Amino acid sequence: MDTRTAFDDWVKTYGRECPSRTVIDVLANKWALYVLGALRRFDRPLRFNELRRLLDGVTQKMLTQTLRTLERDGLVTRTLYPAVPVRVEYALTPLGVEAGQLTTAIAEWSVEHAHQIHASRADYDGRE
């Protein structure tokens, strides 16, 4: 493959009309990253309120929207148990497990390098 063809393919991949762009948009959402990470970390279905407690700062509305988007995209399953009160659990699909591997890698990298990022921010913000 020549350089021009490789560049053209890359541009198409990141173009507005590329289907992969919508997937990247979902995965780039911070709450989607956190939900996938939490479900992968605990490796079991979690109830809505468990997720809400784990994800400090997420609103009920945002968590609901995020879970619906992840379910729509086939990354999360929603299982309803007919009980009083109704019990709903969320779990990763096989596709979600793969996406969760990416979020785990990002989380681990973030923990390992957070001090460097914060130091760079402080240096930058301290400039005259």
**CATH number for 43:** 1.10.10.10
Query: Mind listing the pLDDT tens digit for each residue in 51-108?
Result: 999 999 999 999 999 999 999 999 999 999 998 888 999 999 999 999 988 888 888 9
Backbone phi, then psi, for 17, in 5-degree steps?
A: -90, -5
Distance CA 111, CA 9 (A): 34
Name the domain count of the chain.
Answer: 1
Residue type, position 29, single letter: N
Whether the full predicted model's pTM is greater than 0.85, yes or no, is no
Backbone phi, then psi, for 25, in 5-degree steps?
A: -60, -40
- pLDDT, residue 27, reads 85
Interacting residues of 20 by C-beta distance below 8 A, sequence separation 6+: 13
The answer, yes or no, to whether residue 7 has pLDDT greater than 80, is no
Domain span at residue 73 reads 3-125
Q: How confident is the model at residue 17 (pLDDT cuts 50, 70, 90)?
A: confident
Query: Mind listing the pLDDT tens digit for each residue in 86-95?
Result: 899 999 999 9
Q: Residue for token digits 């979600």? A: 96
